């Protein structure tokens, strides 16, 4: 009996198993060349073959050495199921097959002593999302005619910036008209969907550039005033000095990466940025800082961020800030002052049991300086994280957004610090519906990240396919700095897909506003919604319908 090492990793432990059809393979080698994870390799096998050379059958056995494509079985170069090999194979000879009985994460941890990391979203949720249990149930009929999505005009704009209560706006009456006595905090009216913060570094420069191109195109050609958040880690100087900066929300996180470049570029800026977003936390890995692994810190990233090639860890908190009041004073004041109080400054926190307290507190901010509350729930996630954080920490967004809105209603301060929420928006591929429902529940707008990657060609899904964003080997060039892989991404095509998607979203948003008879965003109009789930209805304080 042969010896067997039961503790060794075997093919049946892996997430994905390569199904290889030897008889179809012409050994072109494309799959091996295409797999960025080195999860397959060309090997030789000794094969027994029965042949007959004579006119009459005269079988004889020969042994041959033949080249084959084999799956690699180890903890580092394992198949991610991305399907790139299948995509490139001209003969349908190879494909990954999901292994429902895998035990890979246990094996990985027990061998490496290292937490398992991956990209993508939470993998545990299998039931329908909360938003899918909500419908737009209040349809205008005879007494309040619905509008015509084609013919009527709609005001699809949301405020970004600190909105003052009317009695605090420094108005005086001159000749029967209101005039402003002095400046007030800046408020920008923008599209209610923001392309969420994904850093140049986490994304490849081509992906990031494609987003920036799509943003500029949507603004300048399509008339959709969408904004894009830079993510942490800086912005190319060329962009900082260009007029396109006005479409960019610059982010600063606890690592402060890239900010010296931004500050240095200030004298040369011809436009103000669209806003500043101070990231306190993110929903995909709440309580964790950012992590850009050294392998993704390519030369241009080093330049933009002003760092050497090393793991770039943003601490989980902003050092030196120990209370909400302090954060208001230090961060908001300083960043407002930096741009001479012309640029709205907002804050992004991970949705959590405590976010309502934070929001309540900010609403009472005496400086009127917080220009937006970005609330990020689980189910987002574009970059790398520890799996344990992705799957087991965080707070779903819908009820938390609702709680924040109702807390503002309770204070009579709804709308004063615009609420923006994200975390799985567009997960069912329909961003307009998600945005609309969130707005009815009280959001001024939403932001979205992962969906943008999926529009760009990310092959990942929520069932463990690919999710290799942490490896720096993204097979489609989206979140990698590897020049060979990055070249796989067609910038123009990606930009075009994103633009087209937003054109359809814009149309769909109107298609949802028209039947409820609203020509401006129905912020807080939860009476327009019904829930088909009693628990959801009760929790969100909306009508239950069955």
Binding residues for [4Fe-4S] cluster, as ranges, are 79, 82, 85, 89
468-489 b/e (C-beta count within 10 Å ≥ 16 → b) = bbbbbbbbbbbbbbbeebbebb
| Contact between 71 and 11 (Cβ < 8 Å) | yes
Query: How far, CA to CA in Å, does 305 sit from each of 231, 457, 480?
Result: 12, 27, 16
* Number of chain residues interacting with another protein (CB under 8 A): 43
Residues in CB range of 347: below 8 A, 6 or more apart = 277, 278, 280, 327, 331, 332, 362, 370, 372, 373, 374
CB of 543 vs ligand SF4, minimal distance in Å: 38
In 3D space, the residue among 283, 229, 228 whose CA is nearest the CA of residue 401 turns out to be 283
In 3D space, the residue among 237, 478, 201, 469 whose CA is nearest the CA of residue 312 turns out to be 201
Hey, which bits of 227-268 come out as E strands? Answer: 227-229, 248-252
Contacted entry of another protein, ligand SF4, none for residue 83, CB cut-off 5 to 8 Å set by kind: ligand SF4
**Could you say which residues in the range 151-180 bind another protein, by CB under 8 A?**
152-153, 155, 157, 159, 161, 163-167, 169, 171, 173, 176-180
Tokens coding 222: 């399509």
| Contact between 371 and 160 (Cβ < 8 Å) | yes
Q: Is 284 in the site for ligand SF4 (CB under 6 A)?
A: no
Q: Is 406 in the site for ligand SF4 (CB under 6 A)?
A: no
Q: Which of 120, 192, 377, 522 binds ligand SF4 (CB under 6 A)?
A: 120
CB of 84 vs ligand SF4, minimal distance in Å: 4
CB of 11 vs ligand SF4, minimal distance in Å: 12
CB of 221 vs another protein, minimal distance in Å: 17
Q: Is 51 in the site for another protein (CB under 8 A)?
A: no
Q: Which stretch binds another protein (CB under 8 A): 229-237, 339-347, 359-367, 411-419?
A: 411-419
Q: Which stretch binds ligand SF4 (CB under 6 A): 52-60, 75-83, 337-345, 415-423?
A: 75-83
The three-state secondary structure class of 179 is strand
Q: Is 79 in the site for ligand SF4 (CB under 6 A)?
A: yes
In 3D space, the residue among 430, 538, 522, 540 whose CA is nearest the CA of residue 139 turns out to be 522
Contacted entry of ligand SF4, another protein, none for residue 479, CB cut-off 5 to 8 Å set by kind: ligand SF4
Q: Which stretch binds ligand SF4 (CB under 6 A): 35-43, 103-111, 155-163, 179-187?
A: 35-43
Tokens coding 379: 């189910």
Q: Is 85 in the site for ligand SF4 (CB under 6 A)?
A: yes
Contacted entry of another protein, ligand SF4, none for residue 114, CB cut-off 5 to 8 Å set by kind: none
Q: Is 526 in the site for another protein (CB under 8 A)?
A: yes
Q: Decide whether 440 or 489 has the Cβ nearer to another protein.
A: 440
| Contact between 410 and 428 (Cβ < 8 Å) | no
Tokens coding 352: 């959590």
Q: Which stretch binds ligand SF4 (CB under 6 A): 79-87, 168-176, 392-400, 407-415?
A: 79-87
Angle at 114 between CA 108 and CA 120, to 5 degrees: 75
Q: Which stretch binds ligand SF4 (CB under 6 A): 180-188, 361-369, 451-459, 518-526?
A: 451-459
- What 256-262 contacts at long range (C-beta under 8 Å, 24+ apart), as own/partner pairs, is 257/201, 257/232, 257/233, 257/305, 257/306, 257/307, 257/312, 257/314, 258/232, 258/233, 258/234, 258/304, 258/305, 258/306, 259/234, 260/306, 261/234, 261/235, 261/237, 261/304, 261/305, 261/306, 262/234, 262/235
Q: Is 82 in the site for ligand SF4 (CB under 6 A)?
A: yes
| Contact between 458 and 211 (Cβ < 8 Å) | no
Q: Is 381 in the site for ligand SF4 (CB under 6 A)?
A: no
> Which helix (H) or strand (E) covers residue 158, if one does?
strand 158-161
Q: Decide whether 62 or 173 has the Cβ nearer to another protein.
A: 173
Q: Which stretch binds ligand SF4 (CB under 6 A): 246-254, 274-282, 461-469, 492-500?
A: 461-469
Interatomic CA distance for residues 234 and 263, integer angstroms:
10
Which residues in this chain contact ligand SF4 in the complex, by CB under 6 A? 16, 18, 34-35, 37, 39-40, 79-85, 96, 119-120, 453, 458-460, 466-469, 474-476, 478-479
Where along the sequence are the contacts to another protein (CB under 8 A)? 140, 143-145, 147, 152-153, 155, 157, 159, 161, 163-167, 169, 171, 173, 176-180, 184, 187, 189, 409, 411-412, 414-415, 516-520, 522-527
């Amino acid at each position: 009996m042969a010896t067997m090492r039961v503790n060794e990793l075997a093919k049946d432990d892996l997430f994905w198993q390569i199904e290889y059809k030897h008889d179809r393979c012409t050994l072109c080698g494309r799959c091996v060349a295409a797999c960025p994870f080195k999860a397959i390799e060309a090997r030789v096998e000794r094969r027994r073959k029965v042949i007959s050379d004579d006119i009459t059958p005269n079988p004889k056995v020969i042994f041959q050495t033949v080249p084959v494509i084999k799956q690699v079985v180890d903890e580092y170069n394992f198949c991610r199921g991305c399907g790139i090999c299948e995509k490139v194979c001209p003969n349908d000879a190879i494909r990954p097959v999901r292994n429902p009985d895998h035990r890979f994460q246990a094996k990985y941890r027990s061998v490496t002593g290292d937490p398992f990391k991956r990209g993508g979203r939470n993998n545990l949720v299998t039931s329908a999302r909360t938003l899918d249990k909500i419908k737009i149930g209040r349809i205008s009929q005879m007494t309040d005619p619905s509008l015509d999505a084609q013919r009527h005009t709609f005001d699809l704009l949301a405020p970004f910036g600190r909105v003052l209560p009317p009695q605090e706006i420094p108005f005086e009456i001159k000749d029967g008209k209101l005039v402003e006595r002095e400046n007030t905090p800046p408020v920008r009216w923008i599209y209610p969907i923001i392309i969420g913060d994904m850093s140049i570094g986490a994304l490849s420069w081509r992906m990031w550039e494609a987003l920036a191109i799509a943003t500029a195109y949507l603004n300048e050609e399509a008339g959709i005033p969408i904004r894009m958040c830079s993510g942490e880690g800086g912005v190319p100087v060329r962009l900082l000095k260009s007029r396109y900066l006005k479409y960019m929300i610059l982010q600063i996180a606890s690592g402060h990466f890239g900010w010296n470049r931004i500050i240095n570029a200030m004298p040369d800026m011809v436009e103000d940025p669209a806003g500043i977003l101070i990231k306190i936390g993110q929903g995909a890995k709440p309580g964790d800082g950012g992590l850009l692994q050294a392998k993704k810190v390519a030369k241009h990233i080093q330049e933009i961020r002003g760092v050497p090639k090393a793991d770039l860890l943003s601490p989980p908190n902003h050092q030196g800030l120990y209370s909400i009041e302090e954060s208001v004073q230090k961060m908001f004041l300083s960043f407002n002052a930096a741009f001479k109080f012309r640029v709205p400054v907002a804050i992004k926190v991970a949705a959590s049991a405590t976010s309502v307290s934070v929001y309540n507190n900010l609403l009472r901010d005496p400086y009127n300086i917080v220009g937006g509350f970005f609330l990020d729930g689980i189910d987002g996630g574009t970059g790398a994280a520890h799996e344990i954080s992705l799957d087991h920490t965080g707070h779903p967004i819908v009820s938390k957004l609702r709680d924040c809105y109702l807390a503002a209603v309770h204070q009579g301060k709804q709308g004063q610090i615009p609420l923006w929420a994200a975390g799985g928006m567009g997960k069912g591929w329909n961003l307009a519906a998600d945005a609309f429902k969130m707005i009815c529940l009280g959001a001024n707008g939403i932001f979205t990240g992962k969906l943008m990657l999926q529009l760009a060609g990310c092959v990942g899904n929520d069932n463990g396919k690919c999710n290799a964003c942490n490896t720096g080997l993204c097979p489609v060039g989206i979140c990698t700095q590897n020049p060979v892989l990055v070249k796989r991404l067609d910038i123009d095509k990606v930009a075009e897909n994103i633009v087209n998607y937003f054109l359809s979203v814009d149309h769909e948003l109107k298609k949802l506003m028209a039947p409820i008879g609203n020509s401006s965003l129905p912020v807080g109009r939860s009476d327009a919604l019904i829930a088909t789930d009693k628990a959801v209805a009760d929790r969100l304080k909306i009508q239950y319908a069955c």
